[in-house]
Amino acid sequence: MARNPKITFIGAGSTVFMKNIVGDVLQRPSLSGATIALMDINPQRLEESAIVVNKLIATLGVKAKAETHSDQRKALAGADFVVVAFQIGGYEPCTVTDFEVPKKYGLRQTIADTLGVGGIMRGLRTVPHLWKICEDMLAVCPQAIMLQYVNPMAINTWAISEKYPEIRQVGLCHSVQGTAMELAHDLNLPYEEIRYRSAGINHMAFYLKFEHRQPDGSYRDLYPDLVRAYREGRAPKPGWNPRCPNKVRYEMLTRLGYFVTESSEHFAEYTPYFIKEGRPDLIEKYGIPLDEYPKRCIEQIERWKDQAQAYRSAQRIEVEESKEYASSIMNSVWTGEPSVIYGNVRNNGCITSLPRDCAAEVPCLVDASGIQPTYIGDLPPQLTALIRTNINVQELTVRALMSENRDHIYHAAMMDPHTAAELDLDQIWSLVDDLLAAHGDWLPAWARVGRKNEAA
């Protein structure tokens, strides 16, 4: 009798996300008998997640079973797949700190979870916990594949491959397929008729091709249509969030010739062009939602109160297919049935114009051998140049973590495009001091004291 896979969720208290992935998994015949091991440090969230999983199993009538764990290593023992989804420090206090401290310096952010001073601090908080998972995996499930859904994705993926190169890992995001769906909608085309190829780094990958299949089987380039729709005011169409009109990315398309995969609210803070002190006209023109991520956190916390109660009282939990790659990866590895996903992996020469050791986001073939990145070659030079500005920040943050050299935290902030466009060197140094002091014990011990306290 064939063995069923064990799928461990670290950070299972991210219940809505976990529900989407487990719902996808249980609908695949090869995975429907899986053991789902849920681990979280918050007992209430863990219990709520277990309720959801058991109701999904009952609704779908499958043979899967759920376990709950507060001990990470026990949850990981014998796992085939490890899904990681947590936020170290949560909305309060850490996200609030990442927004409020920079604001005192006039540095305003939109999301602050990937790049900028917010992304650097999140990386410093997060990577040591990911490394601990790697350590436990090597002890109790060394062949398992880590499916890592944590931000800052590129910093995390890079740091794991530096310290634990033997861990089989992929960083996963839904921006590539999600944005492709948005663009198809903007052009009134069925997503199923779109063909695309994307490459770059997480949150700054670009569609190198974006095409529409014609009745005769040929493909037509859609970039002229996208530019025309933007210039004529037909695109972008209103999306799920009225605060985020998505104009930044269309504007960058007209300048670079390529469309970026992550949202306009993210992209506005990865570059020095859009958020500027004393330029409210830019904020208004491009509809840039300052402080967007804290607003989302508050809304999500409020929504969850009602949602948790609804899950507790529901007899059944209906399942819709999500756009996440996790179940597709697991199915391909488990059965050998090939699939293609977009994953974040060590570059290793896939994108020849970017550093070999950076975390690249490229198309990957998945089968029984695991996740195999595909070769891209050089990116167009303007895309390489822009991506490098973000890689500089990621690399210095990873160097800080690997060497435990606090100087590199300051260097990372100094190289950040948005921070450098707004603050002078003394302000950047002082801001990093203040952030390190404010985060305190959320940071690894070597990073906890600001430079100005060193002599004390």
Separation CA 391–CA 358 (nearest Å) = 7
CB < 8 Å & 24+ apart, contacts of 85-88: 85/9, 85/10, 85/11, 85/12, 85/14, 85/17, 85/18, 85/149, 85/150, 86/10, 86/11, 86/13, 86/14, 86/40, 86/129, 86/150, 87/11, 87/14, 87/150, 88/122, 88/125, 88/126, 88/129, 88/442
Q: Among the options 129, 174, 185, 212, which is catalytic? A: 174
- Beta bridge pairs of residue 211: 195, 221
Residue 173 is labelled as binding a ligand:
yes
- As given in the structure block, the two tokens for residue 37 are 């091991």
Instruction: Identify whether the C-beta of residue 108 lies closer than 8 Å to the C-beta of residue 102.
Output: yes
- As given in the structure block, the two tokens for residue 94 are 């850490």
- One-letter amino acid at 235 equals A
Q: Is 174 a catalytic residue?
A: yes
Residue with tokens 């209430």: 44
Separation CA 109–CA 102 (nearest Å) = 8
Q: Which residues contact 276 (CB under 8 A, 6 or more apart)?
A: 282, 421, 422
Q: Which residues contact 440 (CB under 8 A, 6 or more apart)?
A: 448
For the chain, give me the number of helices (H) and strands (E)? 17, 12
Spell out a b/e string for 235-260, using b for 16 or more CB atoms within 10 Å of the CB, else e. Answer: bbeeeeeeebbbbbbbbbbeeeebbb
Quickly list DSSP for 295-310.
HHHHHHHHHHHHHHHH
Residue 151 is labelled as binding a ligand:
yes
- Beta bridge pairs of residue 373: 364
How many CB atoms within 10 Å of residue 203? 26
CA dihedral in degrees (6, 12, 18, 24; nearest 10)?
A: 10
Binding residues for substrate: 151
**Any idea which residues carry the catalytic annotation?**
174
Binding residues for Mn(2+): 173, 203
Binding residues: 151, 173, 203
